[in-house]
Amino acid sequence: MIEKPLTAKDRIILALDVDNLKEAEELVKELKDYVGYFKVGLPLIVNYGFEAFRLLEEHGAKCYYDCKFHDIPHTVQKACISLVKNNVNFFNVHIQGGSKMTSAVVRASRAAAKSMGIEPPTILGVTLLSSFGQKTLTTELCVDKNIEDFVLQLAKVAKESGLDGVVASAEEARRIRKEIGEDFIILCPATRPTWSSVNDQVRVDTPRDAIMAGVDFMVVGRPITTADDSIGAANLIIDEIETALEDKKVLC
């Protein structure tokens, strides 16, 4: 299992939401010393498959695969075994696939890792997409709970299923941290510093919000990747995280 991040840099997961491997490689080469992980998601996987993972390996960069698997238990189980066999040791699945699915994923992935003699993967559970607001949850999904209660319930399912943590916003992270504990990993999927736009996200947090709420990892994309000075933007976020960590020590 992946250890909790020790430095501000380690907490940043840069989203490689680009259309081709050349763009991805340029970002990896430029920023691998300024972020902890690179997030590989649908755009690269649909076009290039496992080549995207190999690219990161070649450059000594660490990968977080944002696969969001959500299917019947057997199908997701087989997919996750394939990830483990291809050295992908940090990924996620949708908790809304149900406890049978999430439990099956944990068992199968750990068994595959054990048979290969490697460390078991870190598997997070996606709670609710960051593009969802209360209106979508209530009117379209017909869920009467408020978002925080709904996400907390999903986090409890994740914990009981053996998942290592969840993907949730900083606002939701406070209750998750309080009720589930310090060992549980919390990853904030939509982090935007105050100087950037929110784009198509609804539930968005600043790096400081995330740290103060007890978040371990935060995904940052366009504020860094589309900046005129990507390294400068990454350093600004690192500085914000470091300041928040110091302030949190004082408050605690």
Q: Which of the 8 DSSP states describes residue 191?
A: B
CA 178 – CA 210 distance, rounded (Å): 14
Annotated catalytic residue, options 32, 68, 156, 248? 68
- Asked if residues 63 and 93 have their Cβ atoms less than 8 Å apart, the reply is no
- Among this protein's residues, is 68 annotated catalytic? yes
For 250, counting Cβ atoms within 10 Å of its Cβ (0-12 exposed, 13-18 middle, 19+ buried), the class is: exposed
Buried b (16+ CB within 10 A) or exposed e, 88-108: bbbbbbbbebeeebbbbbbeb
Give the closest residue to 213 by CA, choosing from 184, 183, 188: 188
Catalytic residue ranges: 68
